[in-house]
A and B are shown apart, each in its own frame.
Chain A
Amino acid sequence: MDFKLTEDQEMMRESAREFAQKRLLAIAEEMDAKEEIPEELLKEVGELGYFGLVAPEEYGGLAVDTLSYALVIEEIAKACAGLTIAISVHNSLVIKAIAMHGTDAQKDEYLPKLAAGEIIGAYSLSEPNSGTDAGSLKCQAKPDGDYYILNGTKSWVSTAKHAGIYIVFVSTDPANGSHGISAIIVPKDAKGMSLGAPEKKMGMKCSDTRELSFMDCKLPKTNILGKENEGFKIALSLLDNGRIGIGAQALGIAQAAYDEAVKYSKERKQFGKALADFQAIQFKLADMATQIHAARLLVYRAAWLKDQPGRHTMGISMAKLFASEAANFVCDQAVQIHGGYGYVKEYPVERYFRDARVTEIYEGTSEAQRMVISREILKD
């Protein structure tokens, strides 16, 4: 066993920390209030290489190991969790999907632009009536010569407004359920595709979330990612990547909330002494620190597992489940320690609390994680 980071990993973490603390922290509150990520910030993220973290080197990516990737997400999430959605979807779902399953032509066309951050990738699996039950999706792609005609609605598409391409999961063989699903690359200017109004979310407000609607949207068959009807397999192959990203994101939010709570509890005096001098507050901090520590070990281990041969679904689900529930606990306690100040926007814990909530929902709800974990346990 070795719990030390390598020099490369340390470096990745340090540079992400610097970007997060010096550049992002100052504007995160405004981004939350305006419900917007400035385009120039996305450009900067691209220039720093964060849109090419997991892209292969031959396409201009950094091809970092999964733990380095998780460290970057964690550090950025400490300052602005909403921005990490764009980075993690782009890397762990879109680039991974194309790198793992794309044809050479697709890789050549999209990976260099994605890795450089010239275009941003979005990912679209959920539908209004297909969430946890992802195999039941209804958005249809009907063959028409060398083309597909898409009709239907997708929901909860992150970074939709900024994206240059969307990986969209559609039903190409409705009779065959989850075996009749395909992934297709949709360029932003595809005729017949339209974006819905931005969702009004509780947290992660700077991150753009919308519906995608398709009305007789005609796309060449060459846009199919990998093979026809193998979409569900592709989606499953990406779950682990996505969940590590969310685990790291939850971890970053929790750490930031905890840091604020420690600071405040030392500054704030009641009954003639600092809050931190009360056992009730000390024990909250102890519980928060313990949860964060355990979450960090689970997330880092999940990231390490991902780079080992074999299937590691259970360990990765556990990391996502535990880290997201820890983040909710920690953020709640941080608001509680701040009292009235934690309930208003003067302190960032109010934002962390709202941001943390969704980590228990997307990329598989806590319930979906428990399904995965219990299924693995009971398999033997």
Chain B
Amino acid sequence: MDFDIKYRDFRQEARAYCAINIGPHAAKMDRDQVYLKEVHDAVHAKGWWSCLIPKKYGGIEISTLEYAIIVEEVSRICGSTGLTLAAHNSLGTWPIYKFGNEEQHRKYLPPAAQEGKLIAFGLTEPEAGSDAGGTKTKAVKDGDGYLVNGTKCWITSANLCEYSIMTARTDDRGGVHGISSFIIEKGMKGFSIGKKENKMGCRGSDTAFMHFDDMKLPAWHLLGEEGMGFKQFMMTLDGGRISIGAMGIGLAQAALEAAAKYSESREQFGKPVNRNQAIQFKLANMATQIEAARLLMYKTAWMKDNDIPFTKYSAMCKLYASEVAHYCTHQAIQILGAYGYTDRYPVERYFRDMKLCEIGEGTSEVQRIVISREVLREILENI
């Protein structure tokens, strides 16, 4: 084992950059429900829209571990931007690189890397949430292409993206079979986007429905092979969950720091509130849980970087980190009292942003399904 913190400088630099370049905009993005160009450009200037894109397509191609640190540090400053970043890299660019052909790589990856064009991921449907195999959107063979009809919901960056991945049924076998993935482009005929969702948190991140009404799609938009969609998005989500875990850890860390600072400056009964054991123990619990969650994140990222199967671990990382974020942001508000309930301090934003982590990219319930299935399989196979 090697816990050498060789990424300390890397993290410090990212932290300082986010504080200066994203920090001043975070509260406004939340309050006004806007995605700001300044922030998009600041992320672009660091190449962070291309974390997982190879250098030959203009990407910065960093390890999953480094990428997770970036998502954590961005989320520590702004959960909305952390979410946009995580969805674009893990769910947008990664599957195109992983499953796409050379032609698709050359068409879609350089704009993301060099121009900061966003790529979305359209999987969830109104009736297919946790039950992603219940996908109803159809892509019917039509000449040498497909005719697509259906609706996708909760699509991160739907209004902002240049391209998106979209899953649809290409045959009638039902369930997890017969689902395929496609790459679609903004402005395609028959492709429309619903109104921006009014969310509890992550309000600076765009979320909307996507509608397909007789959308014609030439065959070369197919990602990988027909019928491989389910397997592809399960693999995509395995990776994506590391980034949602990272987002949760960033929010938890921000909450801990805000609570620690406040508890030193706030005096009640003639002393700073952190001289009370009740507050000290809250801070101790928060710090311990964050440390454990971060280790899960490091380990899972390391496994992915070393091609070790990590499905169970990414579910654990995502589940645990999002629940830690819940605990920490909740306790931070508690330590700040009424101040924590208002927008005078950012902790109420952290708390609202956090709730996304327990829902997006597989609810906590889905993570528990994944983990228990893997655990039962491993143990029963060895009896």
Contact = CB atoms under 8 A, between A and B. Distances in A.
A143 interface: no
Interface in A310-366: 328, 332, 335-336, 339-340, 342-345, 350, 353-354, 357-358, 360-362, 365-366
Instruction: Give the interface centre of A280, A335, A339, A360 by most chain B CB atoms within 10 Å.
Output: A339
A271 B268 contact: no
Interface in A137-168: 155-156
Contacts of A281: 365
A131 interface: yes
B368 A339 contact: no
A136 B359 CA distance: 43
Given A132-B337, A353-B200, A361-B337, A343 B356 contact: yes
B154 interface: yes
Interface string A368-380: 0010000000000
B338 A271 contact: no
B338 A131 contact: yes
Instruction: Give the interface centre of B201, B278, B326, B365 by most chain A CB atoms within 10 Å.
Output: B365
A200 B343 contact: yes
Interface in B341-383: 341-344, 348, 351-352, 355-356, 358-360, 363-365, 368
A199 B279 CA distance: 25
B278 A370 contact: yes
Given A270-B129, A343-B199, A345-B198, A361 B359 contact: no
A370 B344 CA distance: 26
Chain B contact patch, size range: 35 or more
B363 A339 contact: yes
Contacts of A332: 326, 355
Contacts of B134: 270-272
B290 interface: no
B257 interface: no
Interface in B204-221: 207
Contacts of A21: none
A269 interface: yes
B131 interface: yes
A3 B197 CA distance: 45
A287 to B, nearest CB: 14
B124 interface: yes
Interface string A267-285: 0011110000000110000
B131 A271 contact: yes
B129 A269 contact: no
A156 B341 CA distance: 11
Interface in A272-304: 272, 280-281
B359 A202 contact: no
Interface string B126-165: 0111110110000000000000000001100000000000
Contact of B130 (A270, A345, A357): A270
Secondary structure call for the B interface: mixed
A272 B326 CA distance: 30
Interface in B301-340: 326, 330, 333-334, 337-338, 340
B38 interface: no
Given A131-B337, A199-B342, A343 B355 contact: yes
A129 interface: yes
B3 interface: no
Given A202-B352, A270-B131, A343-B201, A136 B337 contact: no
A340 B360 CA distance: 7
A133 interface: yes
B338 A361 contact: yes
B341 A361 contact: yes
Given A336-B358, A360-B334, A367-B278, A136 B269 contact: yes
Contacts of B355: 332, 335, 343, 353
B342 A362 contact: no
A339 B341 contact: no
B267 interface: yes
Contacts of B128: 270
A201 interface: yes
B365 A336 contact: yes
Contacts of A365: 334, 337
A133 B348 CA distance: 23
A126 interface: yes
A357 B359 contact: no
Interface in B35-84: none
B268 A133 contact: yes
Interface string A95-135: 00000000000000000000000000000001001111100
Contacts of A136: 268-270
Nearest to B365: A280
A366 B334 contact: yes
A281 B270 CA distance: 47
Nearest to B128: A270
Top 9 closest pairs, chain A to chain B, by CB: A133-B268, A270-B131, A200-B343, A202-B348, A340-B154, A271-B131, A133-B269, A345-B198, A199-B342
25 contacts: A126-B338, A133-B268, A136-B268, A156-B338, A201-B341, A202-B343, A203-B341, A269-B127, A270-B129, A270-B131, A271-B134, A272-B131, A280-B368, A340-B359, A343-B199, A343-B200, A343-B355, A344-B200, A345-B200, A353-B355, A354-B200, A354-B352, A362-B338, A367-B334, A370-B278
Interface of B: 31, 124, 127-131, 133-134, 153-154, 197-201, 207, 267-270, 278-279, 326, 330, 333-334, 337-338, 340-344, 348, 351-352, 355-356, 358-360, 363-365, 368
Interface of A: 126, 129-133, 136, 155-156, 199-203, 209, 269-272, 280-281, 328, 332, 335-336, 339-340, 342-345, 350, 353-354, 357-358, 360-362, 365-367, 370
Given A201-B341, A328-B330, A332-B355, 5 more contacts: A270-B127, A270-B128, A357-B333, A361-B338, A365-B334
